[in-house]
């Protein structure tokens, strides 16, 4: 069975996890834009492209700052192996995050604009 990063690493930063009080909830566990990628929940199987994840005892920064650590991570290597030819490259995942962020902003503006017109 495929595991999400928090299950594989036992970090306890998923919602309801034992370390959320001292370390906070991991953004990979709540990043819904990557839900279902590689069969994971939220970004649980694409954590390497999410800023603020926990690795080597430290909260990591942006993708650009953390990727070298992720590239040698045992979970990342396991996910790559499990997915085989279906493994989605980081550039594809980052593009998905960016595209969905842009769409979300456009939808917010559309709703705000529609509400403004209705109130006139």
**76-99 per-position pLDDT tens digit:** 999 999 999 999 999 999 999 999
Q: Above pLDDT 90, what percent of the chain?
A: 62
**108-118 per-position pLDDT tens digit:** 666 555 555 55
Specify which of 32-36, 57-61, 97-101 reaches the highest per-range mean pLDDT: 32-36
SS3 86: helix
Quick check: 31 pLDDT over 80? yes
User: Which candidate, 1, 33, 29, places its Cα nearest to that of 16?
Assistant: 29
Give the domain extent around 50.
5-118
In which element (H, E) is residue 5 found?
helix 5-9
| Average pLDDT of the chain, as a whole number | 88
Domain count, the chain: 1
Mean pLDDT (whole number) for 42-69: 87
SS3 78: helix
């Amino acid at each position: 069975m495929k595991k999400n990063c928090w299950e594989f690493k036992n970090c306890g930063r998923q919602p309801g996890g034992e370390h959320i009080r001292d370390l906070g909830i991991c953004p990979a566990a709540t990043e819904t834009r990557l839900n279902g990628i590689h069969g994971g929940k939220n970004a649980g199987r694409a954590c390497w492209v999410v800023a603020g994840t926990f690795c080597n005892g430290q909260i990591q920064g942006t993708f650009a700052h953390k990727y070298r650590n992720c590239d040698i991570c045992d979970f990342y290597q396991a996910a790559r192996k499990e997915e085989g030819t279906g493994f989605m490259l980081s550039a594809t995942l980052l593009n998905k995050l960016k595209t969905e962020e842009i769409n979300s902003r456009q939808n917010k503006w559309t709703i705000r604009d529609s509400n403004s017109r209705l109130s006139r």
